[in-house]
Chains A and B, each alone.
Chain A
Amino acid sequence: MSKPATIFIDGRKIDAFEGEKLLWVALRNGIYIPNLCAIRGKEHPSGSCRLCYVQVEGCSEPVTSCTLSVTDSLSVQTRSPQVDRLVKSAFELLLSHHRLGCRDCAKRKSCELLKIAKERGLKMKLTRLALLDQEAEVDDSAETFVFDRSRCVLCGRCVWICREVIKVGALGFSRRGIKRVVTTFQDVSLAQSGCIECGLCVEACPSGALYFKEGKKPAAAGQCSCRGG
């Protein structure tokens, strides 16, 4: 068992354990830090969404809280002008590659993009950036859910669940750079893939990229273990 540590988040004294990642400690204690790609239980954080920045006392540059290991008497601020600037910028970048349309989006009640915007007072529209073209097509071949890549934020939660939790591995990352996507092996449709339609990825998806078809949502909500706390 790791050693207990006392830390300070926004001046609040909090009990934690050494080596824990700060993001999880904060969330557990009801302090919200924007995040999309953090996955509880994933040993090595992917650190890809770049939304979870915090300011560590004694450190001039913001650091990502999903990779920040707790040490005793660590003191962080969840907000600072630098943190706010990076979060705002990363968020707008994600929106610039996202087919916005919350009103008709199946996930609007649980969307984490909307949550981040609300928590941080960010706009759900582009202010300085142009909308980037996307070639994403919608895969509605599965019986129970739809995969709309134009709303995927590449957080990797679905990939993790499919691969590491239910061990099916129907989804994975593919291609590089701006073309990076979540897709099936050899880009076949979900119906042709090894997908067993457990629905866990749909539960885990923070955005409107994976959503259940009308009336197909399983009665017992999926046991998504990627988030927790």
Chain B
Amino acid sequence: MNGNAAAAVRERYRKLEADAAARIKAIYNGPVIRVGTATCGIAAGALPVKEAFARVVEEKGLPAKIIDVGCMGHCYAEPLVIISKPGFPSLCYGYLDEDLAARLVDDFLINDDPCYEFALVALEPNDVFPTFSDFPRGVYEQKIVLEHCGFIDPGDIDHYIARGGYGALAAALGKAPAGVLDTVKESHLRGRGGAGFPAGLKWEAAVKAGPGEKYVICNADEGDPGAFMDRGILESCPHQVIEGMLLCAYAVGAERGYFYIRAEYPLAVERVRRALEQAREKGLLGGAILGSGFNCELEIFQGSGAFVCGEATALVRSMEGKMGIPATRPPRLAQSGYRGRPTVLNNVKTFAYVPPIFNRGVEWFKSIGTDDNPGTAVFSLVGKVAHTGLVEVPMGTTLRQLIFEVGEGPANGKAFKAAQIGGPSGGCLPEAALDIPIDFDSLQEAGAIMGSGGLVVLDEDDCMVAIARYFLEFTQQESCGKCTFCRLGTKHMLDILTRITEGCGEPGDLEILEELAEDVRDGSLCNLGATAPNPVLTTLRYFRDEYEAHIFEKRCPALMCKELIVYYIEPQKCSKLCNVCVGSCPTEAIYTRDDGLKAIDQEKCVKCDNCLKTCPPDYNAVIKLSPPGLLTEKEGKKA
């Protein structure tokens, strides 16, 4: 593109940006209520909260505007709202309900009392209320892909543009595609879909595949149970991903691209669809983008939902209308992908990093994280952790910092046991491994994987054998069945694990299990099979004593495996005045002894845990015993 044309593109963008900025500024001239209505917020009840705000604002005839935003990452405190009122810092409130909504309108919007007692955090620096950086989480978090998530309206492109969105694209269109490719290569950006393959090299391979039709595909299949980063990003800031895909398309010479989104993500599909429409209206998508010679169309393809369809070759086959089953490589997709043409497939997050890299420069990006792993890592932090949510920390942050500082440690004062990291085929790391830095290579060395970025915190009540079995059951069921090791190997592994958790483990089982796990890892065709044994291999490595207790003592140390525990009411703790447990038992297994205390008829007990849950904290009389043989000892004493 010659100088004049480049200047024209820049000029056109500047106009877009100025208009958007003016519009958004006008919105914020009055009070604005931003309601987090991503899937997580909606699940927590954001929609009635939003309606309550709308109702009260209307009743009182206030000029306040109500805006949908995405996920801010603090999912534990949903529903969340941000209230901005001129003269005050923008304040974020959590755990909203309809009453609190009405109260905030009355007290804050009408009477200038910001109700600090309900506020979680202020967005801008100020002298009255703490901001994110005043909390431990804010110190560790650094947001690149989540930067705008939860703060802007994903349904209104001007919010993104007003923050400089599509500026990277406008600047790139003034350069040769090769220059764009070079920037991504120099940034050492690694793909965030699991394996950490350098994005620049992948793009370069597609360039080198020669001229002709090419495709760019965004992998938003996200089939891991418990992972919701990609969904969160698409629901909260779809334009950043679109811009990243357009930059990629420009760099590799593709004129068509697809969002492969799982059909179970209707809101993400809807928000991306709307974002694409708006981008098209603004001349940011379609023919002659921003008046340049670059044409590119992006479309949505809704995936069938099988976990294995997230695997690159299976994904492409499923887009072609075939069964979503992995194929042998070579050829790589970059040589022969969708419809046999060179195809770049990247994860949602990978694309989302691209615009910030262009805006702030390669050096800035490389200054975050570690040498081999620049940038940040995004996790969905779930399980037995106080603060669940979407978090983004620089690569190299330790797992300990992530779990104990950002997530504020295990919930309910329980003792930490393990972090299961990387999705269903990730590994379980013990306390002793928490000081390793989070990056693709260190995690792999420890036997885990970065994977999709699911991080499940496990505590003392979690049995590691049962956990390994749980994850393996998922991958075994999701195996496509094509290759021998994965189809049959995972089945045998699951059978052995099931036997162990049921108390039927035998000496020699662990050796067979370990051998099989290694063979499935080394022999499988695709990465589903190759990574499926991770939970088993890591628990065997770090928690072997738990397996041995199950096999040799028929004891479940975490008191989780039903076949290996019995419920018991401790007479010295049980109270004659109480009989809560009796009614909670579905099988009428609890009876009153001659002395008025309660006891359990083991023949009838189905181990549903109800009595233990209902026994009042004052007594805590119901306990679990493992191995079940302990019961004789206890009952002997009682007599």
When C-beta atoms are compared, the residue in chain B nearest to A93 turns out to be: B488
- Closest A-B pairs by Cβ, 10 of them: A180-B481, A47-B328, A93-B488, A89-B519, A177-B481, A177-B479, A48-B483, A50-B484, A67-B328, A90-B484
CB-CB under 8 A from B480, the residues of chain A are 176-177, 180
Residues A96 and B492 in contact in the complex (CB < 8 Å), given A90-B523, A178-B487: yes
Within 8 A of A (CB), among B342-397: none
Partner of A177, one of B327, B487, B524: B487
How many angstroms between the C-alpha atoms of A69 and B330 in the bound complex? Answer: 9
Could you give, for residues 477-498 of chain B, a 1 whenever the CB lies within 8 Å of some chain A CB and a 0 otherwise?
1111111110111011001000
How many angstroms between the C-alpha atoms of A49 and B330 in the bound complex? Answer: 17
Q: Does B522 interact with chain A (Cβ within 8 Å)?
A: yes
Interface 9-residue window, one of A127-135, A137-145, A183-191: A127-135
Contact: B489 with A93, CB < 8 Å?
A: yes
How many angstroms between the C-alpha atoms of A161 and B305 in the bound complex? Answer: 31
When C-beta atoms are compared, the residue in chain B nearest to A172 turns out to be: B323
Contact: B323 with A178, CB < 8 Å?
A: no
Contact: B485 with A50, CB < 8 Å?
A: yes
How many angstroms between the C-alpha atoms of A50 and B524 in the bound complex? Answer: 7
How many angstroms between the C-alpha atoms of A45 and B479 in the bound complex? Answer: 19
Question: Known pairs A46-B482, A89-B516, A128-B515. 4 more at Cβ < 8 A?
Answer: A50-B525, A177-B478, A177-B479, A180-B487
How many angstroms between the C-alpha atoms of A62 and B483 in the bound complex? Answer: 16
Partner of A175, one of B477, B481, B484, B516: B481
How many angstroms between the C-alpha atoms of A61 and B521 in the bound complex? Answer: 12
* Residue among B323, B478, B523 facing the most chain A CB atoms (10 A cut-off): B523
When C-beta atoms are compared, the residue in chain A nearest to B489 turns out to be: A93
Q: B residues engaging A (CB < 8 A)?
A: 306, 323, 327-328, 330, 476-485, 487-489, 491-492, 495, 512, 515-516, 519, 522-525
Q: Does A85 interact with chain B (Cβ within 8 Å)?
A: yes
Contact: B479 with A90, CB < 8 Å?
A: no
CB-CB under 8 A from A129, the residues of chain B are 492, 512
How many angstroms between the C-alpha atoms of A176 and B489 in the bound complex? Answer: 15
Contact: A96 with B479, CB < 8 Å?
A: no
Closest-CB distance, B511 to chain A (whole angstroms):
9
How many angstroms between the C-alpha atoms of A173 and B323 in the bound complex? Answer: 10
Contact: A132 with B491, CB < 8 Å?
A: yes
Residues A89 and B515 in contact in the complex (CB < 8 Å), given A47-B328, A132-B492: yes
Contact: B484 with A130, CB < 8 Å?
A: no
Q: Does A97 interact with chain B (Cβ within 8 Å)?
A: yes
CB-CB under 8 A from B519, the residues of chain A are 85-86, 89-90
Residues A86 and B488 in contact in the complex (CB < 8 Å), given A47-B483, A173-B323: no
Q: A residues engaging B (CB < 8 A)?
A: 44-51, 53, 61-62, 64, 67, 69, 82, 85-86, 89-90, 93-94, 96-97, 128-130, 132, 154, 173, 175-180
Residues A94 and B484 in contact in the complex (CB < 8 Å), given A47-B525, A132-B492: yes
CB-CB under 8 A from A48, the residues of chain B are 482-484, 525
Closest-CB distance, A18 to chain B (whole angstroms):
14
CB-CB under 8 A from A96, the residues of chain B are 488, 492
CB-CB under 8 A from B485, the residues of chain A are 50, 89-90, 93
How many angstroms between the C-alpha atoms of A177 and B481 in the bound complex? Answer: 4
CB-CB under 8 A from B330, the residues of chain A are 67, 69
How many angstroms between the C-alpha atoms of A136 and B58 in the bound complex? Answer: 66
CB-CB under 8 A from B323, the residues of chain A are 173
How many angstroms between the C-alpha atoms of A177 and B490 in the bound complex? Answer: 10
Closest-CB distance, A83 to chain B (whole angstroms):
10
19 A-B pairs with C-beta separation under 8 A: A47-B328, A47-B483, A48-B525, A49-B483, A50-B525, A89-B489, A89-B523, A90-B484, A93-B489, A129-B492, A132-B495, A154-B481, A154-B482, A154-B487, A176-B306, A176-B480, A177-B477, A178-B491, A179-B481
How many angstroms between the C-alpha atoms of A94 and B485 in the bound complex? Answer: 9
Closest-CB distance, B108 to chain A (whole angstroms):
54
Contact: B482 with A130, CB < 8 Å?
A: no
CB-CB under 8 A from A61, the residues of chain B are 522
How many angstroms between the C-alpha atoms of A176 and B478 in the bound complex? Answer: 8
Residues A86 and B522 in contact in the complex (CB < 8 Å), given A94-B488, A177-B487: yes
Closest-CB distance, A79 to chain B (whole angstroms):
16
Contact: B488 with A180, CB < 8 Å?
A: no
Contact: B328 with A178, CB < 8 Å?
A: no
CB-CB under 8 A from B481, the residues of chain A are 154, 175-180
CB-CB under 8 A from B491, the residues of chain A are 132, 178
When C-beta atoms are compared, the residue in chain B nearest to A66 turns out to be: B328
How many angstroms between the C-alpha atoms of A97 and B51 in the bound complex? Answer: 58
When C-beta atoms are compared, the residue in chain A nearest to B331 turns out to be: A44
When C-beta atoms are compared, the residue in chain B nearest to A96 turns out to be: B488
When C-beta atoms are compared, the residue in chain B nearest to A47 turns out to be: B328
